Structure 1
Amino acid sequence: MADKFSTTSQVELTRRDMMKAAAATGAAALVPALGSRTAAAAGEPVVRGYGVTTAQLKDWSNMTKSIGVQMDFSGTNNSVGVFLRDVVASQLGDKVDIFIFESGTEDILGPQGVYLEIDEKNPELKLWGRTADEWKRSEVVQGKDGKQYGVPVIGNADSFGYFPDKIGVDPSGQEDISWQVMFENEKTRGRVAYDQTWTYSIGSAALYLQGQGKAKFANIADMTRDEAKTVVDFLIARKKAGQFRTLHSAFEEQVQLLTNREVDVINCWEPATRDANMKLGANTVRYAYTVEGYFKWGHGAYIAAQAKDRGNLDTIYKVLNYFLDGEYRALQARDRGYAGPNMDLGVAYAEKNGWSAEDIANLKATDEKVTRKFKKPFVSTTTPSNSDAIEEEWQRFLNA
């Protein structure tokens, strides 16, 4: 998972800006509400977490029953700026044990000492040795300095949802489909929804252009200004040609656009197609295997540096190990369609606990799906070094 923000300038900028805000409004205003869950039962330890909501179990009591630890989790959205603000400016590590976020922050907060290095020999991290390097040594959890700052949690490879009958492809959903149906296809022109955030959209357009031999990029995850301009010039032309019906910005919009059949193609999160099919019928909407590649992402769990002085590191490592184990893997795959390390343990858990043959088959299919998708580019990062330039170019597309 490729180049990330390799300097300290973003952290220092965030620190200065947020401390100014803290001085004006009070630091407490910057800290997300914590401790919202029911207090732990007598003698039952609590680990406090903060991060992206997609990493949450729908019911953390499953973990408590399994390992005897409660989770007090406060969620945030996918904005790296908000995350850095809360972690750095608000010194959130004073209250939080575990941070969970997408790739990129480990290259900033790890070297700054905000995250602890992972102790791979901690006795509670029992599954570390059998966890594949493609997960535990990925750039999601390893810093550019080669240090291990996190434990892998979940990952997926995002593409687009589509109605097979509308774009004229095999309804099985197993066919590799080009991103061309999103960007310059007469059959879909005016029937495409495109995410308005550049972090989620500019890379897929670059993948398409490169796959078609129309442009070359040294690193799609961290484009230069000129490379971003090439992509945006193309997207502006397609926008003016009427390719996009609408730009969307929220998960609920994704689901609504599909269930209302307002569009035929949409770059979206895979759970949006699952939710839409609950209303439209199984497999009405498919989630694409693509010709050119995917927006591949992963979440890592990182230990707050302050936790080393709280005396609960073994309990924290017990939770980190749970993220690598079968129960968490099975529940995440069933409920969200996300994969992660040790999927075989997820299958074993489902079989042991009497899950239906359909649910077990779906777990195996999730493993096969992600393995297939991860063979293609590109891997995203929340903190590209040229983010300011990319943002400026993206504004041209939004304003066109």
Structure 2
Amino acid sequence: MKDKFSTVSQLELSRRGFLKTTAAIAGAAAISQTFGSFASAQSSNVVRGYGVTTSQLKDWSIMEKSIGVSMQFNGTNNSVGVFLRDVVASSLGDQTDIFVFESGTEDILGPQGIYLKIDEKHPELKLWDRTPDEWKRSETVVGKDGVQYGVPVIGNADSFGYYPDKIGAAADGNEELSWSLMFDDEKTKGKVAYDQTWSYSIGVAALYLMGQKKLEVNDPADMTGPEAAKVVDFLIERKKAGQFRTLHSAFEEQIQLLSSGSVDVINCWEPAVREANKTLGSDKTRYAYTKEGYFKWGHGAYIASQAEGRNNLDNIYKVLNYYLGGEYRALQARDRGYAGPNMDLGVEYATENGWSKEDIENLSKTEQKVARKFTKPYTSTTTPTNADAIEEEWQRFLNA
């Protein structure tokens, strides 16, 4: 069964045709209602954002105090189908200045004219030149057409959370563990939670099989239908063998499953480990370094094309520059464990603002951690070419 809001559906439908569908009209109505008061903000120092919640500061007033611009941000989850539906069907650019999402949307929405090209020489984008190319020229923010559509925001390399004592691993969490703990290990059998979202889960399964020389895959981020079928065959076998205790789908579930101790291993976001340890005690659970690789991702910030006519580009670029600066970097690394461009400015900010020695050291550790993980494969995309085939194969796993 295909998801009616799948990536492929977005690609196949024109803007006009998409608006004609019943589902899109329903979505448009819901979003319009949600954004009614959101769109009414007229203050010149207000920038309006829409995108993934993990990119948000826990308190946007901190940014306002720093740069004199306030943020009104409406969050969404990391479902690319929902994001594309909302942006296209609801013409959110009429009401939104900045979109924040994972890599892939720039390849679709950029060439369609929904995202503006970034003005790298804009006077408010002061940190652009000193931002490393590995971030600002990454696939997250540069389209396949070579156009710079976005500014890098945050990134990480996702793996799995685990209890070191339960799986017999070193307590310090520094050793590299195999994804076999997730998929194919007797000691974790029946004690694993696996994300039921294919875009987050099928690639790491392929990565494990590639590392074990059990399967050849050209690109785990964009598998062909036959490649995905072989991965799903393996996952169905493991599912029937009782490897997975449960399938999960939300961040809150990740925290609950970890903190309750009902599973020993779970592929999850790193903040879930941090939240679980607030209940369990420091470092009771760990976030894995892996032998085979990671689900590497990045979030970019993109300007809605309609914003060009609202005479607010200076403030928008101030926010984009803020994403590259030390305050945002330090707060995201401390609160969520995420890295990003110009981590050195985050350390500088924390030092100048009297953060504790431990917090400052942790910022440096975050930079080192991400650098270590980014040396391994693979880099994800939310918009694989063969999404329809992958989705069909994934349904076989879910239904098995």
| The two structures share one fold, judged by TM-score above 0.5 | yes
- Inter-partner Cα distance in structure 2 for 1:26 and 1:388: 21
- Inter-partner Cα distance in structure 2 for 1:174 and 1:15: 52
Is residue 2:334 matched to residue 1:337? no
SS of corresponding position for 1:86: helix
Shift of 1:36: 5.4
Q: Per-residue displacement from partner, 1:79-110 (whole Å, max 9, x unpaired)?
A: 11111111111111111110000000000000
SS of corresponding position for 2:346: helix
Q: Which amino acid aligns with 2:151?
A: V
- Inter-partner Cα distance in structure 2 for 1:239 and 1:353: 50
- Inter-partner Cα distance in structure 2 for 1:320 and 1:371: 23
Distance 1:334 1:309, change over 3 A: same
- The equivalent of 2:396 in structure 1 is 396
Count of equivalent residues: 395
- Inter-partner Cα distance in structure 1 for 2:36 and 2:369: 37
SS of corresponding position for 1:74: strand
- The equivalent of 2:251 in structure 1 is 251
The answer to whether the Cα contact below 8 Å between 2:19 and 2:25 also exists between their aligned partners in 1 is no
Aligned ranges 1:29-178 → 2 under 5 Å: 29-31=30-32, 33-34=34-35, 45-178=45-178
Aligned ranges 1:232-311 → 2 under 5 Å: 232-311=232-311
- Inter-partner Cα distance in structure 2 for 1:147 and 1:263: 44
The answer to whether the Cα contact below 8 Å between 1:34 and 1:73 also exists between their aligned partners in 2 is no
Aligned ranges 1:154-233 → 2 under 5 Å: 154-233=154-233
Q: Which amino acid aligns with 1:307?
A: A
- Inter-partner Cα distance in structure 2 for 1:140 and 1:227: 24
Q: Which amino acid aligns with 2:370?
A: V
- The equivalent of 1:19 in structure 2 is 20
Distance 1:118 1:188, change over 3 A: same
SS of corresponding position for 2:193: strand
- Provide the identity percentage: 71
- List runs of 5+ in structure 1 lacking aligned partners: none
- Inter-partner Cα distance in structure 2 for 1:98 and 1:106: 13
- Inter-partner Cα distance in structure 2 for 1:275 and 1:22: 36
Shift of 1:25: 4.9
Shift of 1:315: 1.1
Shift of 1:77: 1.1
Distance 1:28 1:362, change over 3 A: same
- Inter-partner Cα distance in structure 1 for 2:74 and 2:33: 7
The answer to whether the Cα contact below 8 Å between 1:257 and 1:263 also exists between their aligned partners in 2 is yes
SS of corresponding position for 2:272: helix
TM-score by length of 2: 0.94
- List runs of 5+ in structure 2 lacking aligned partners: 1-5
Shift of 1:246: 0.7
- Inter-partner Cα distance in structure 2 for 1:74 and 1:96: 9
- Inter-partner Cα distance in structure 2 for 1:77 and 1:269: 13
The answer to whether the Cα contact below 8 Å between 1:22 and 1:29 also exists between their aligned partners in 2 is no
Aligned Cα RMSD in Å? 2.1
Shift of 1:18: 4.0
The answer to whether the Cα contact below 8 Å between 1:11 and 1:88 also exists between their aligned partners in 2 is no
SS of corresponding position for 1:222: coil
Distance 1:269 1:7, change over 3 A: closer
The answer to whether the Cα contact below 8 Å between 2:338 and 2:366 also exists between their aligned partners in 1 is yes
